[in-house]
């Protein structure tokens, strides 16, 4: 088993609570998007998973063990952080050889990874002249040296162009298809949405939502109700719905109830419904709602 379990994890820096009693799991064989606006605590959480930062309280385990208790951690977990840097005079091949030697990984992994990540042609060039996209690929190659079952990627899409992002998404899907556990953070949902099976959303260090993308409340559909009896119907729907908003004198937007249930509740109370339509909500909207970066109308 190589899932990640985060339990009541907190990190305080003086009076600032960067991570606030977080609990969630990340399963193998899936891409889990770790989402939250800048400063939400994503990097701090991921760094606590690999002992770069000591938790104030709580724990993070990988396959049931703390990182420090793993016998050869780089064969279990590969991590890529935004701040990773390379010696500008070293070529990508030099860089990977050094890290392979340090981790005790076979030298043969170096050329394998260079070609897997599309860097074979540039392998002899000094990394000082690499583009952002090439650096991100080299970061990934470094993390994959130990053929780890778990990958922690902190904002790997930063600075990538649309083509690079598309490549990254399909690469992550491939890795998850091999049964690996992939946790990938981003503050831009659209970067990872198409690649993700699951999401963990945090804001100000706290968990806002976690689970399968499909099962998250609100990712399905909103029901738009046109009714002259909006005032009466609104509180009735609100008892069962996730949320009901009056969008006009005769219009309600209902989240978390299917159209048949909305119609059924109206009929049961003798209230009139003149129109019932559904509207898909994008995860982007859900994300903005959850993180409070947009007030709902």
Residues of this chain that bind ligand ATP (CB under 6 A): 13, 16, 18, 36, 38-44, 187
- Closer residue to ligand ATP (CB): 41 or 146: 41
CB-count exposure of residue 155 (10 Å: 0-12, 13-18, 19+): buried
At closest approach, how far in Å is the CB of 227 from ligand ATP? Answer: 42
At closest approach, how far in Å is the CB of 67 from ligand ATP? Answer: 17
At closest approach, how far in Å is the CB of 72 from ligand ATP? Answer: 27
- Closer residue to ligand ATP (CB): 97 or 187: 187
**Locate tokens 């899907």: which residue?**
173
**Locate tokens 């909103």: which residue?**
222
Side-chain-side CA neighbours of residue 12 (13 Å):
8
At closest approach, how far in Å is the CB of 31 from ligand ATP? Answer: 18
DSSP-derived secondary structure for 221-271: EEEEEE-TTHHHHHHHHHTTSSEEEEEETTEEEEESS-HHHHHHHHHHTT-
Contact criterion met (CB below 8 Å) for 216 and 199: yes
- Closer residue to ligand ATP (CB): 119 or 202: 202
At closest approach, how far in Å is the CB of 48 from ligand ATP? Answer: 9
At closest approach, how far in Å is the CB of 154 from ligand ATP? Answer: 7
Phi and psi dihedrals of 58, rounded to 5?
85, -175
- Closer residue to ligand ATP (CB): 82 or 232: 82
Q: How many C-beta atoms surround the C-beta of residue 65 within 10 A?
A: 12
Q: What is the DSSP letter of 214?
A: T
- Closer residue to ligand ATP (CB): 39 or 218: 39
At closest approach, how far in Å is the CB of 197 from ligand ATP? Answer: 21
- Closer residue to ligand ATP (CB): 44 or 91: 44
**Locate tokens 């780089």: which residue?**
74
Length of the chain: 297
According to DSSP H, which parts of 145-248 are helical?
162-177, 189-193, 230-238
- Closer residue to ligand ATP (CB): 42 or 95: 42
Phi and psi dihedrals of 149, rounded to 5?
-85, -15
């Amino acid at each position: 088993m190589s899932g990640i379990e985060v339990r009541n994890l907190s990190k305080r820096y003086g009076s600032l609570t960067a991570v606030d009693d977080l609990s969630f799991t990340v399963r193998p064989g899936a891409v889990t998007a770790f989402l939250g606006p800048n400063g939400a605590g994503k990097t701090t959480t991921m760094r606590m998973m690999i002992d770069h930062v000591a938790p104030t309280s709580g724990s993070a385990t990988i396959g049931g063990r703390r990182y420090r208790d793993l016998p050869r951690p780089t064969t279990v977990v590969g991590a890529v952080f935004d701040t990773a840097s390379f010696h500008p005079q070293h070529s990508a091949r030099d860089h990977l050889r050094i890290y392979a030697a340090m981790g005790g990984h076979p030298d043969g992994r170096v050329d394998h990874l260079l070609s897997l990540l599309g860097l074979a042609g540039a392998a002899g060039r000094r990394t000082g002249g690499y583009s952002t996209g090439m650096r991100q690929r080299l970061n990934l190659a470094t993390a994959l040296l130990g053929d780890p079952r778990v990958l922690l990627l902190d904002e790997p899409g930063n600075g990538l162009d649309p083509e690079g992002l598309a490549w990254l998404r399909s690469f992550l899907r491939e890795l998850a298809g091999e049964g690996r556990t992939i946790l990938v953070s981003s503050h831009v949902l659209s970067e990872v949405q198409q690649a993700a099976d699951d999401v963990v959303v945090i804001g100000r260090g706290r968990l806002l939502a976690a689970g399968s993308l499909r099962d998250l409340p609100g990712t399905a559909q909103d029901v738009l109700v046109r009714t002259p009896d909006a005032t009466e119907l609104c509180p009735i729907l609100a008892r069962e719905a996730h949320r009901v908003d009056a969008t006009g004198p005769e219009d309600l937007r209902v989240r978390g109830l299917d159209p048949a249930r909305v119609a059924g509740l109206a009929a049961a109370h003798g209230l009139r419904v003149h129109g019932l339509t559904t509207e898909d909500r994008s995860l982007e909207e859900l994300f903005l709602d959850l993180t409070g970066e947009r007030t709902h109308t």
